[in-house]
Structure 1
Amino acid sequence: MNVSDKFVEILAEEGISDVFGIPGEQIMPLYKALSTSDINHILTRHEQAAAHAADGYYRSTGKIGVCIATASPGALNFTMAVATAYKDNVPILVITGDNELKYRGSDYFQTTPQVEIFKNITQDSYNPLNGTEALYVLRASLFALKNNPKGPIHINLSKDVLLSTEFEDFELCYLCEDDLSNISKAQELIDKSQKPLFILGAGAISQGQNIKGIAQKYNIPVTTTFHGKGIISEYEDINLGMIGARSTPRSKYAFENADCIIALGIKASERTFSEIPDNLIHVNINKDVLIGDYPIHGKVEDFLLNVNFKKVDWLDEILDIDNETAVEGIHDDLKPQAAIFEILNKFEDNIVVSDAGSHTTWTTLLKKSKKPGQLLFSGGLAPMGYGLPAAIGAYVASDEKIILITGDGGFQMNPQELATLKEYDLNVIVFILNNSEFGIIRQWQESFYDMNPYQIKLQNPDFVKLAASYAIDGVRVDNLDDLKLLLQKNLTGPLVVEVIVESEDVPLPK
C-alpha cells in the first residue's frame, strides 16, 4: 500500500462518496487508487467546473465537496471556483497534484508555486513533504471541514509523496477553538431587550430546528441573509424574509426598530449591513469575520445552549406591514422576471441554481425557500459560469431534479459541462434567458457612467442546436404563453430551454 491508497481509504472512511475532477500526470497515483475504490468520480470537462460542482454539492446538502486536479494547468484552473467558495465560506476539499519535491522553486515543466497561490483563496493550504504529513493533514482537513467549516482547504500532493510506501497514520483528536467570554455581556443585552431580532446565515443551517423552536416559543422574529434562506421556511410568518440590500419591507422595519440583533452564522458583509449596529450580538466560528460590540467566537449551537430568552410581544406589530416585494413586469411578455416568475411557480419545491447576472436579482427576489439549500448562487465573488457546474454538483449530492436559471452570457463561460450533464444523464433542466447582451453591465454603463452600451452585445450560438450537439434535448420559446404551455409538461433533464427575453433593468440596491 502506498500513500495514495491510504489517502483514498481515509476519504471513504470519512464518508466521502463523490469527488469531481480531471486526471493528469502528477495526480495519477491518486487516480489509480480511486479507480479501485467505491468512491464515485465525476469527470468534468474543466477544472473550474469541478470545483464549482464541489461547491454546489455542499451548498445543496451540507455534505463536504471534493475536487481533484493535476499540477499547474489543472490546479490553476481551480482558482476562480476556489475563490468563489472562499468568499462564501463554503467548505470544500481541494486536492492538487504536483511535480516531485526536488523540482519545487524551479522552472521545471508545469511547476508553479501552487501552495503560495492557494494560500490567498483558502482557509489553509498544505504542502506535505512526506507520506505521514499527507495523511495527517488529510485527517486534520476533514475534521476542520466538518466541525469548523470556514471555507476551502487545499492539499498539494507531490507525485513522489503519493507513491511513497513509507508513512504512519494517526487517529487525531481536535477541539475547535472558541471564545465565549462575551456570553454574559450578550445575555445582559438580551435580558433588557423588548424587540429582539434573529439574523440567520449559512452558519446557522445545522441549528435550524432549534432556532425555529426558540423563535416560535418566544415570539422572536427571524430574518436571513441570502445564504440563510430557508433555514426557517419563508412561508412562515415568523420569517420576515431577507435582510440587507434586498430587504423585505418587514425585515427592514424590524432591523431599524430592533433593540437587540442576534446574528447567527452570518458573514456580515456590506450587503447585510451598511452600518454596524451598536446592539449587535455576532456569533460565528470564524473569528476573522466577527464585528460589533458583542462578538462571540464559537458555534451557534454552543451559543444557544448558554443563553436564555424571554417572550416578547412585537411580532404582531411587524406582521401588520405588507411584506410583498414589488416586482414589476412579472406578467409582461416576455421580460426576464416574467419568465423567472413562471419557472419558480412551476418548480417551487426544487433546488434552484442561479448563475451570475441580472437574472440573479429577479431569482433572489422571487424565490421563496422552504428549507436550506433550495437556492444556490455565488454571493461574494459572483463569477459567471458558476451555474451549470454547481447544478451538476447539486444533483450528484441530492439526486433530485435541479433547476438552473442562467443568462446567455454566463452560460457560455462553462458550456462544455453539457457533456458532463449528458454522460451521467443528470436530471438538470437548464433555462437560458437569452437577451443577447451582458445586461447588468449595460445597466451600469448607462446608469452610473453616462455612456452608450459598449462591448455588451452578444452574437450567440443557437443554444438548441448546441444542446443537440451534446445529444441533449433542447427547446426554444419566445413568448409567455408558450413558456406557460411548456411548463405544464412533466419536464425532466437533461434538458436545455432557451427563453428569448427582452432587455430589462434590475432594481439596483440603494
Structure 2
Amino acid sequence: MIPLDSNSYLTGAEYLVKALANKGVKKIFGYPGGAIMPVYDALVDSELDHILCRHEQAASLAADGYARVSGEIGVCLATSGPGATNLITGLANAYMDSVPVLAITGQVATSLIGTDAFQEIDIFGMTLPVVKHSFLVQSAESLPEILTKAIAIAQSGRPGPVLVDIPKDIQVTEFNLISSLHSTELGDVNESKNKTENDAVKVHSIDQYAALMTQVQSLLELSAKPLFYLGGGIGIAKCESLLRQLLHQTSIPAITTLKGIGCYGEYSLGLGMLGMHGHQAANLAVQNCDLLIVIGARFDDRATGNLERFAPNAKVIHFDIDDAEVDKRRFADVSIVGNLTDTLKAFSELFMLNNVNHRQESSERPDWGKWKEWCRQQKKDFQWQYNPPGNGIYAPRLLKYLTETKDEQRVIACDVGQHQMWVAQHCQFSAVNRHLSSGGLGTMGYGLPAAIGAQFAEPDSCVINVCGDGSFAMNLQELITLVRYRLPVKILLIDNQSLGMVRQWQHLFFKDRFSEIDLSDNPDFVQVAQAFGLSSMRITHKHEEQAGIDWLFSEKGPCLLQVCIDNEQNVWPLVPPGADNSEMMVQSDG
C-alpha cells in the first residue's frame, strides 16, 4: 500500500505503480521503451505482475481479453510514438465492444511536446474517437486525481477504454503525495465510480419509470408474437442469472447478437444468433415477431440486414444503459435507460404481479402458445446438419466436437473470419464471458492475445484460441508469450490456405474474380509452432476429427492443432447485402 505519512514523496512513476496495485490491478500487459522507462524502473519494486507481450497491439488485445473474462479493468502499457500508436487497434476494439481498458502511455518530456521530438506523437488526439476519455498529464501532482477518474470512467456506465498519456519528466518528478491526494483518491475508487455510474443511468424519474413499465405491460398484453433480442450488455452488467429467471417466467422465445451468445444458457426457446450468418430460425423469428424486447443490444447492421425491412411488424421495447443507443437506428416504442440489473428486476416483478402470460379463455389478449410452437418448429426444421459428403474435415462438425468434449468452464477466444462465424453457430457457451470475439471492429489477430489475457484471468480454466490461417499470422509472435509464461492455451488453427471470408464474398458477389486471397504459400504451421516450443500436430481427414480434439485437450502445456480443410467450405446461411434477414442464402445457392 502507498505510505501516507508526512514524508510521502514519490516520483510520478512510483506513485503510478503503487496506486494501480492499491486500486486492485494485478496484471499489466505491455512493452517497454524510452519514454515509459521510468515506469518500468518502478515496476522492479512493485507487486504488479507485468506481462511482456511481443507487440503493443497484442498487449492491448490481451488487456481486452483479461477484462472480458475477469470482469475487472484490463491495463496495458506502452512507450511514446510507435509504441502508443500500436495500441490504437486494441483500444478501438475495446471501444466498439464496451470493454474497460486502461491504456498508459509514455510521452516525450513536456518541454519537447510540439517540437517533433524523437518518437513524439499526439496520442491524446489520435485516440479521441476510440476511447471514452483521454488524459494528458501535465503535472505529477495531478496523477492521483487523473488515475482515479480514469479507472472510474472506464468501468462505469457503458464501459470502455481510457487513455492516460504521461510525459517522461512527470514520471521522474517527485511530489508530496499527502498534499495531492483527495479523500476519494486513496486507492478506493468505489465512491467516484458509483457517482459516475449513477449520473449515467438516472435518466428517468420514479414517476417516469413507473409510467414506462406500465407501457411495457400494455405492449406485452397486446402482443401475440413477442421475442427477446439479447445483446452483450447482459454479460457486461453481470445479470445473466436475472435474465434466465425472466426467460423461464415468461417462456418468450429469444435470439442473441454475436456478443450476446451464452447469455441464456440451455434455454429451450433460445433460437440462436441472428443476422448475416445467424441461425435460420432466429432470423425468421425476428422477421415474424410483433414485439421485439431488446436488452443490452444495439441494432448493428450485421444483425439487422436491411434496416427498413428488419422486424417489419414489430413494436420495440429497448432496455439499455446507454441513452445514445436508443432510437439511433430503430425507433423504440418504449425505452428504459438504466442499469440492466435494475431494469430486469423491475421487468420480472412486473411480469409476476400482472401475470401477463396467463391467458384465460375469456381474455381478449392473444395466446402466445401458437407462436412458441411455431418457433420450436423452426428450430427443429433448421437444425444444423453435420454430415456433408466426402472424407475431408468439416469445420462445423469439428467445432461441435470441441464444445461437446470439454466442460463448460472452457473459454474460446476467436479470431475474425469464417471460423469466427462457425464458432458462433456451432459451439455452446455457458456464459457471455466464455466467448471472446471481436464483434464491432472485427479485428484479425485478436484471438491469440485475447486468449493470453483470458488465461491470466483464469489460470485454471481451459482457454482455446480458434483461429484461421490468415488471422493467426497477424499476431503469431505471441507464441513466445505462451511459452515464456507457460500458458496452457490450446490453439485450434483452421487452415484453408486462403482468406476464407473474403474468398467467399468474391465467389458469391464478384463473379469469382479472386483477388489477393491465396495463402497457399503459408509456412508449415506445425513446424513453426514447434520452433516456438509448442507441441503441435496436423489432421486432414474426417476420421481424425475426434482424435485431434482429444489430443488438443490431453496436452498439458500450450499446443497447436492444425486442421486442414477445403478452401471452398463456406459459412451458411448468409444474408446478402441489401437483403432482409428472411432472404438467406443457403448452401445450395452457391
Q: TM-score, normalised to structure 1's length?
A: 0.93
Partner of residue 52, structure 1: 61
Note if 1:384 corresponds to 2:444: yes
Q: Following the alignment from structure 2 to structure 1, what is the Cα–Cα distance between the partners of residues 538 and 296?
A: 42
Note if 1:263 corresponds to 2:294: yes
Deviation at 1:56, TM superposition (A): 1.1
Q: Following the alignment from structure 2 to structure 1, what is the Cα–Cα distance between the partners of residues 274 and 540?
A: 35
Partner of residue 488, structure 1: 550
Note if 1:498 corresponds to 2:531: no
Task: Note the 1:170-181 alignment, pairs <5 A.
Answer: 170-172=182-184, 173=192, 174-176=195-197, 177-178=200-201, 179-180=203-204
Deviation at 1:239, TM superposition (A): 2.8
Deviation at 1:509, TM superposition (A): 2.5
Partner of residue 187, structure 1: 214
Partner of residue 405, structure 1: 466
Partner of residue 317, structure 2: 281
Partner of residue 181, structure 2: 169
Q: Following the alignment from structure 1 to structure 2, what is the Cα–Cα distance between the partners of residues 267 and 127?
A: 32
Shifted more, 224-233 versus 143-152: the winner is 143-152
Equivalent in 233, 237, 255 of residue 203 of structure 1: 233
For residues 470-502 of structure 1, give each alpha carbon's deviation from its aligned partner in whole angstroms, at most 9, with x where no partner exists.
121111122122232233342333001111211
Partner of residue 435, structure 1: 496
Shifted more, 495-504 versus 28-37: the winner is 28-37
Partner of residue 528, structure 2: 466
| 5+ residue gaps, structure 1 | none
Kept in 1: contact 2:526–2:562 (CA 8 A): yes
Kept in 1: contact 2:113–2:120 (CA 8 A): yes
Q: Following the alignment from structure 1 to structure 2, what is the Cα–Cα distance between the partners of residues 368 and 471?
A: 31
Task: Note the 1:113-192 alignment, pairs <5 A.
Answer: 113-166=122-175, 168-172=180-184, 173=192, 174-176=195-197, 177-178=200-201, 179-180=203-204, 183=209, 184-192=211-219
Q: Which one-letter code corresponds to 2:245 in the other structure?
A: G
Q: Following the alignment from structure 1 to structure 2, what is the Cα–Cα distance between the partners of residues 22 and 192?
A: 54
Deviation at 1:190, TM superposition (A): 2.7
Q: Following the alignment from structure 1 to structure 2, what is the Cα–Cα distance between the partners of residues 297 and 506?
A: 36
Task: Note the 1:25-424 alignment, pairs <5 A.
Answer: 25-166=34-175, 168-172=180-184, 173=192, 174-176=195-197, 177-178=200-201, 179-180=203-204, 183=209, 184-193=211-220, 194=223, 195-205=225-235, 206-233=238-265, 235-274=266-305, 275=307, 279-291=315-327, 292-293=331-332, 294-307=334-347, 308-309=350-351, 310-312=355-357, 313-314=368-369, 315-323=372-380, 324-327=382-385, 332=390, 333-347=392-406, 349=408, 350-399=410-459, 400-424=461-485
Deviation at 1:47, TM superposition (A): 0.4
SS in 1 for 2:571: coil
Equivalent in 575, 581, 584 of residue 509 of structure 1: 575
Q: Following the alignment from structure 1 to structure 2, what is the Cα–Cα distance between the partners of residues 189 and 43?
A: 50
Deviation at 1:372, TM superposition (A): 2.1
Deviation at 1:317, TM superposition (A): 4.8
Distance of aligned partners of 1:325 and 1:90 in 2 relative to their CA distance in 1, 3 Å threshold:
farther
SS in 1 for 2:456: helix
SS in 1 for 2:25: coil
| 5+ residue gaps, structure 2 | 1-9, 185-191, 358-367, 577-590
For residues 339-390 of structure 1, give each alpha carbon's deviation from its aligned partner in whole angstroms, at most 9, with x where no partner exists.
3333333236221111111111211110121222222111111121111111
SS in 2 for 1:112: coil
**Number of residue equivalences:** 509
Q: Following the alignment from structure 1 to structure 2, what is the Cα–Cα distance between the partners of residues 374 and 361?
A: 16
Q: CA RMSD in A?
A: 2.2
Distance of aligned partners of 1:51 and 1:39 in 2 relative to their CA distance in 1, 3 Å threshold:
same
Q: Which one-letter code corresponds to 1:493 in the other structure?
A: G
Distance of aligned partners of 1:203 and 1:322 in 2 relative to their CA distance in 1, 3 Å threshold:
closer
Q: Following the alignment from structure 2 to structure 1, what is the Cα–Cα distance between the partners of residues 290 and 505?
A: 37
For residues 209-247 of structure 1, give each alpha carbon's deviation from its aligned partner in whole angstroms, at most 9, with x where no partner exists.
1122122123333322111111220x2214332233344
Shifted more, 309-318 versus 199-208: the winner is 309-318
Kept in 1: contact 2:91–2:161 (CA 8 A): yes
Equivalent in 426, 451, 462 of residue 487 of structure 2: 426
Partner of residue 511, structure 2: 450
Higher alpha-carbon Rg: 2
Distance of aligned partners of 1:300 and 1:482 in 2 relative to their CA distance in 1, 3 Å threshold:
same
Partner of residue 23, structure 2: 14
Q: Following the alignment from structure 2 to structure 1, what is the Cα–Cα distance between the partners of residues 98 and 156?
A: 13
Identity %: 29
Kept in 2: contact 1:355–1:410 (CA 8 A): yes
Kept in 2: contact 1:216–1:238 (CA 8 A): no
Kept in 1: contact 2:444–2:471 (CA 8 A): yes
Kept in 1: contact 2:132–2:153 (CA 8 A): no
Q: Which one-letter code corresponds to 1:218 in the other structure?
A: T
Kept in 2: contact 1:88–1:380 (CA 8 A): yes
Kept in 1: contact 2:61–2:90 (CA 8 A): yes
Kept in 1: contact 2:36–2:106 (CA 8 A): yes
SS in 1 for 2:304: coil
SS in 2 for 1:497: strand
Q: Which one-letter code corresponds to 2:182 in the other structure?
A: F
Q: Which one-letter code corresponds to 1:476 in the other structure?
A: R
Distance of aligned partners of 1:330 and 1:100 in 2 relative to their CA distance in 1, 3 Å threshold:
farther
Kept in 2: contact 1:82–1:121 (CA 8 A): yes
Distance of aligned partners of 1:199 and 1:488 in 2 relative to their CA distance in 1, 3 Å threshold:
same
Kept in 1: contact 2:399–2:427 (CA 8 A): no
